Each structure stands twice: as structure tokens, then as C-alpha cells.
Amino acid sequence: MTLAPTPGQTVGPFFGYALPYDGDSHLVPPTRPDAIRLHGRVYDGAGDPVPDALIEVWQTGPDGAVPRAAGSLHRDGYTFTGWGRAATDRTGHFQFTTLRPGGATPYFAITVFARGLLDRLLTRAYLPGAAPEHWPGATARADDRGFVFDIRLQGEDETVFLAYAQD
Amino acid sequence: MTELAAAAASSASSDAASTSQAEISAEIDAIAQEYDAAQVVETDARLDYPPYRSSILRHPTKAPHQVDPEGIELWAPVFGQRDVDPLESDLTIQHRGEPVGERMVVTGRVTDGAGRPVRHQLVEVWQANAGGRYLHQRDQHPAAIDPNFTGTGRCLTDGDGTYRFTTIRPGPYPWRNHHNAWRPAHIHFSLFGTEFTQRLITQMYFPGDPLFALDPIYQSIVDPAARARLVATYDHDVTTHEWATGYRWDIVLTGSHRTPTDADTEDDQ
Ligand SMILES: [Fe+2]
């Protein structure tokens, strides 16, 4: 039996009072010694920042293990759930406080939603040097606090978005 | 809206304000005809759908890069009782009084493409009130705010993949895509599957809405059978005596690759 998929629709302009929540982008407290920052800006095809996008991150911890703990919506300050959410601000900027992902090819799995974007987009933000050979897109770049990954929805430097092979 | 606000709005979107519904409908029809002629079935919304003006600068132009899901992508985040209070599934009890409008229950099952239930997973909803007004700063539609209705809810699916919300039927609302543009009534749904690749945000609609044909967001799913999957069904077995009308809407999340583990399939994890 194969059921037809339910199509996606845009997140629209009014998610801001529904989806963000206290602590959404703090996968770990910023005071934790091994906390890093993952941040960036979302741009449209004219190079203008997108102030009404929502970015989600899903990642392993430094040990490379897939987190299986609940608690992302009410964080206890100690449990690493591997998942977070950040709305962009007026300048299109988003940021997460998190841990460095581990494993053989460490990356942040990223989901992008925005007003004007009719379905979600998925991508990988590989750590510098971690992407497979011939990876067609940009990787995250290091800065003094962690990593930067800008998202360009359209244009010359358009982010490489992913389609996953079906069974 | 005050005259000043109306003037500011129209100068900020003068292009949009000068486009008529007839022009938008003609664009929608042209794309529909081209889709019919191509005889290739599409199941998703098109990202590049110019009748929805905000999509023009916000859709990728390059084909997505094909990959096999690996590692973290074969899993989804876990949400549990710590995350969601059972009362969050009732949007009508968040304030002192009863909200205005038609009280209704929306329920359905979340499954993958093979019909396997998505168990104990997070479902988030948000919506306008009965008058078509969101409790959001940017919603300038001059309809009443209902002090007894926020319009946000959450729940976890049960062991059978079933979700259930009690809410108020939302009203249609105007938007600025073009002159006299109105959205059909809808509830926004956010869903997680058992894998990262199944993540879905979409909108649930109501049967027979006269605005369907006019709405570029609904019509961005160019296949008629595919967009009909976003329309709930009235179900008198969900309707409750002297309390609420009932709608059923099942959701299918595809993109499943990992063989389900005990943790996915056991009722009480
Ligand atoms: Fe909406």
C-alpha cells in the first residue's frame, strides 16, 4: 500500500505568535563551556534579507550519536535534544546556541520555512572540511564563536537544497 | 484600517494592489491548462508559482541536489509528555470565557506512505479566529480580536497516530497579494514524522469553500487530486451532541526510509 503524500503549504506570515517559544534556539545554555553558535542570514533573490523565515536545526551531539531525548519545547538546561527552532529577525538573521555536531561527516540538518516559500526546503550545513567530495554547495564557515551558514533562497549563490531518494 | 494605514499599505504594495482577481485567476488558469496538457502528475506545491506574488523572489531556481538520507536524517526529534500539556489541544479553554464562533473538533491520523502510524509525535496548529483575525502583530485586518481566543495549539499523536484538537472554525481573511484577495478558511498544521525528511508544514481547508478557485496558495498545488488532500471531511461521528461539529483530516508523511524500530511501533514507549 502506498498512500499519496499530503502536500505542503507556505508557513505564511503569521507563524510568529505560534511556532517560536521560549528557549527555542538555545539547544544548550549559552553559558555552557562547550556551547557554540550557529548563525546566519536568509536572503531572497534580490539579495534582501528575509525577516519572516523560520529555521530549524537537527543534529548529533559531539559524540556523533543521534539524540533520542524529549524536552525540546521545555528545556531542562542539561539534556541535549539535538533540535531547535529560530525565527529570523528584522535583518534576516537567525542564531542557535548549540554543540558541535560529531560523527564521520558532521553537519547540521537544516529546514527552511518562510512567507512566500510554498513548501519547506531542506539542506545540510557541513562543518568546514566535512562535506563529501564534489559537494555542490557551500559549507558552514568557522567564526570565533562557532559557525556561520547563510541561506540564499534564489540567485547566483543559491543554497543547495536537497531532494531525498525515495524507496 | 485608518486612511493613513491604508495609504501606506497601498503605496508599499501598489503593484499588488493594482492587480485584479481576474488577472490572478487568468494566471492560475493558464498554469492549470499547461499542467493538464503536460500529463505529468505532480503531488506537491510548486515553489515557483508567480500568482502568489511573494514567491517570486523566494523560490530556488536550481533543481534540488539528490542525496540518500543518512545518519541524523533517518531520525526525527523526539517530543514527549514533558513538551506538551494535554490541555494545549483545546484552543477553546485558554481564556476565561468561551470564544466566539462555531466550536469544532478536528481529528485524524498521521501515517507514513505505507500507512504506518506516526506515534507520539508533535502536531502544532495555528489559525485565525471566527472573524478571520490572527492574534499576530502584523495582522492588520480590521476584524475583532476575540479576547477568549488565541488560536494556537499543540498535541502529541497517540499510539495509533491520531491527533485531536478542539477549536473554533476560522474565518476567511483578506491579504495583499492582489486587489480584493481573500484566503479560504484554513488551519495551519506543523508535523514531524519519524524521519527528518518527513517534516511538513501545511494548511487544512474546509469542504466546498468558494474561495478555493481564487486562491493562489491553494492553487499552487496544481494537481486537483493532490490539493483536495488538504480538505477536511465533515464527519457526523466526530460531531458531539449539543457541543461541537466534527471534521476528519488524515495526513500522510512520505520520505520514510529507515526500517521502523520497536521505539517507533510500540504503543507505550
Ligand atoms: Fe493563515
Domain assignment of residue A18, yes or no = yes
What is the rounded radius of gyration, in angstroms, for the C-alpha atoms of chain A? 16
Give A4-60 pLDDT, tens digit per residue: 999 999 999 999 999 999 999 999 999 999 999 999 999 999 999 999 999 999 999
Distance CA B146, CA B140 (A): 14
Interface test with B, best of A118, A121, A156, A162 (most B CBs within 10 A): A118
Q: In the prediction, which pLDDT does B10 show?
A: 42
In a domain, A5, yes or no: no
pLDDT tier for residue A165 given thresholds of 50, 70 and 90: confident
Query: C-alpha grid cell for residue A166?
Result: 525515495
Tens of pLDDT, residue by residue over B104-136, are: 999 999 999 999 999 999 999 999 999 999 998
pLDDT score at B258: 65
Cβ-Cβ contacts under 8 Å, A109 against chain B: 72-73, 196
Query: How far does the centroid of ligand 1 lie from the alpha carbon of residue A63, in Å?
Result: 40
Residue found under cell 523526539: B78
Q: Are B177 and B216 in contact (CB under 8 A)?
A: yes
Q: State in Å: Cα B135 to ligand 1 middle.
A: 11
- What tens digit of pLDDT does each residue of A137-162 get? 999 999 999 999 999 999 999 999 99
Q: How far apart are the first and last CA of chain A?
A: 13
What's the CA-to-centroid distance between B16 and ligand 1, angstroms? 19
Question: A68 and B69: CB-CB below 8 Å?
Answer: no
Name every chain A residue with its beta carbon within 8 A of the beta carbon of B139.
14
What CA–CA distance (Å, rounded) separates B136 from A142? Answer: 36
Q: How far apart are CA A53 and CA A92, in angstroms?
A: 8
Least confident of A108-122, B9-23, B31-45: B9-23
Query: Between chains, do B71 and A105 touch, taking CB under 8 Å as contact?
Result: yes
Strand partners, B247: B106, B234
Asked casually if ipTM beats, i.e. exceeds, 0.85, the reply is: yes
pLDDT of res. B255:
72
Could you tell me the maximum CA-CA distance found in chain B, to the nearest angstrom? Answer: 61
- Using the Cα atoms of residue B137, residue B138, residue B139 and residue B142 in order, give the sign of their dihedral: positive
String of DSSP letters for B207-225: TT-TTGGG-HHHHTS-SHH
Residues contacting residue A96 through CB under 8 Å, at least 6 positions apart: A25, A26, A27, A37, A38, A39, A57, A84, A86
What CATH code is carried by the domain that includes residue A81? 2.60.130.10
Parent domain of A26: 14-152
Sole residue written with cell 487544512: B204
Look at residue B7 in the predicted model and tell me its pLDDT. 41
DSSP string, B136-152: STT----S---TT---E
Q: What is the pLDDT, as a whole number, of residue B267?
A: 43
Mean pLDDT for chain A?
96
pLDDT per residue over B194-233, tens digit each? 999 999 999 999 999 999 999 999 999 999 999 999 999 9
Contacting A residues, span 44-83, partner chain B, CB-CB under 8 Å = 44-46, 48, 50, 56, 58-60, 66-74, 81-83
Residue carrying C-alpha cell 474561495: B211
Number of domains in chain A: 1
Q: What is the mean pLDDT of residues B47-72?
A: 96
What mean pLDDT is predicted for residues A103-117? 97
Q: How many residues does chain A have?
A: 167
* Structural domain contains residue A165: no
pLDDT for residue B139 is more than 50: yes
pLDDT of residue B140: 84
Predicted confidence at residue B9, as pLDDT, reads 40
Determine, yes or no, domain membership for A159. no
Residue with cell 491604508: B6
The answer to whether A104 and A36 are in contact (CB under 8 A) is no
Q: Which residues contact B14 (CB under 8 A, 6 or more apart)?
A: none
**Interior CA angle at A87 toward A84 and A93, to 5°?**
110
| DSSP type of residue B166 | E
The predicted structure's pLDDT at residue B260 = 59
Question: For position B268, what pLDDT does the model report?
Answer: 40
Q: Residue A143: in which H helix or E strand, if any? A: strand A141-143
**A87 beta partners:** A54
Mean pLDDT over B55-66 rounds to 97
Length of chain B: 269
Residue B133 DSSP SS3:
coil
Indicate the burial class of B15 (C-beta count within 10 angstroms; 0-12, 13-18, 19 or more).
exposed
Does residue A69 lie in a domain region?
Answer: yes
User: Looking at residue B12, what is its pLDDT?
Assistant: 42
Report residue A83: phi and psi, to 5°: -130, 140
Predicted confidence (pLDDT) at residue B262 exceeds the cutoff of 70? no
Task: Please report the residues numbered 79 through 118 in chain A whose beta carbons come closer than 8 angstroms to any beta carbon of chain B.
Answer: 81-83, 101, 103, 105, 107, 109, 111, 113-118
Mean pLDDT, residues B245-261:
83
- Where residue B256 falls among pLDDT bands split at 50, 70, 90? low
Q: What average pLDDT is seen over chain B?
A: 91
Q: Which of residues 22-81 of B touch A (CB under 8 A)?
A: 43-47, 49, 52, 54-69, 71-73, 75-81
Nearest CA in chain A to B114: A2
Tell me the pLDDT band of B157, cut-offs 50, 70 and 90.
very high
Q: What tens digit of pLDDT does each residue of A52-61 get?
A: 999 999 999 9
DSSP state of B75: -
Cell numbers for B47, please give them. 515553489
| pLDDT value for B138 | 81
Percent of chain A with pLDDT over 70: 98
What 3-state DSSP class applies to B263?
helix
